[in-house]
Chain A
Amino acid sequence: MKGPTGWVKLGLLVASLAVGVALPYLVDQFLVGIVTLALITGLFAMSIDLLAGYGGLVTLGQAGISAAASYGVAYMSVKAGAGHLAQVGVGLLAGLIVSAVFAVMIMRSSGVYFMMITLAQGMIIWGLSIRLTRITGAENGLPGVDRPEFLSLYWQYYWFVLAVVLICSAMLYVIVRSPFGLALEGLRESESRLLVLGYNTSLQKFYAFMVSGFFATVAGILLVYLNQFISPSSAHLTASALGVLQTILGGVGTLVGPMIGSFIVVYLRNVVSQDFERWPTLMGLLFIVVVLFARRGLVGELSERWRAWLTRRGLAVPLR
């Protein structure tokens, strides 16, 4: 119905899916591992995008949630020696409980103050992960989190992650287009107007935070099984901030953008850094350049340009 845009999107989707599924046949183990990692951090960034892009709430504590989930899994696996179902169950529970506690605290805040409270929350989880030595192994972390038999090989796990991330993406896609998602956008545009319309914006934020926390939890569980290891650095502000940066880099409020941002950052950190020691400079410059020349983020800017091009040719109406 939307003419070319729809077809281009479909084409890109099918093409990337085809490459995604076939990937283990195309490249070696190392690159498959890198892509697995990028998919997981991408999901993590998408959970941030739900809050930042649709609710206008930039969180700096998301890594606290996913790390809590990781620790839940790792504790059950390494210390309690429980089965995989129990591991995932406890991981989910840990992530969701932390989300709920956080969510209650942020219900009334917004803007910079929201950022700062979430920052404090994340750092408290980080502090706990260092302090609760018996549960978390302090800064030595918990090594040796084994995957289930049927996922033990790298390509098996890759496909599993791909499937989970696709399902989550589809869920997020539906959520942001649901009435709930639209109300969330209203929150971003004008909280006071929503209040007048009779929305309970505090409750709205609580739900949004919980939904976002759920996806961060899933990412945390996937990550701990990939690295088979968890340590406090996963809960640190750096991890949260990197998620936010990936989101903004790719394009806030696009869902696809955070995923692409995540691929770029993982590529810089894990591949470029092999040969180029000054990779943090490169990453910083990339952030600056993107802000200056594509301030909506890579995907945001690209789709904007595409739309403008179509409009010029009279192929589409402006705005969606």
Chain B
Amino acid sequence: MHVHRFEKLWIGLSLLLIAGFIGIVLFGFTVMDLKVPGIEEGRQVDPTTVLSDEEFSRPGVRKISDDHYEVYMIAQQFIFRPGSTQPLTLPANTRITFHMTAPDVMHGFEVPGSGLNATIIPGQIATFSTRFPEAKSYGIICHQYCGAAHHNMQGKINVVPPSEFDESNLISQ
């Protein structure tokens, strides 16, 4: 098949570009530790009974070690628990693992300025880990359409210095 030499050159450059993009993503994974939901396998739950589930019946922050906390969070029409009525308080510079699910419809979990982004799907537990680099307050936005008051579904995360983190509000294991 006849292919013009300029076009051959162009196809070669295109393939280089594509390889470059794949490389950038892999670089992000390996060197910069940019992860996405799906790396840590969350389990499945029955959405109709999840509110009486062992962990999700008491959503909140649990301590695993001095450098690792877990957050069990429920997203439901139209609040985050915890997060909406009470801000979620977390220590900075500490590994935080989120476990999130929904009992009703799909929701979104977006924390502008942090790169945290997950779809919350009834029946699935979204599990992902992060570290908040500095003490700062963040908003939580539901960015997956979830019904009539979707635009009111929001919450707050207060990230405090580890020394100021009050452990009296933790959920006991």
State yes or no: do A and B come from one complex.
no
Q: B residues touching A (Cβ–Cβ < 8 Å)?
A: none
Q: A residues touching B (Cβ–Cβ < 8 Å)?
A: none
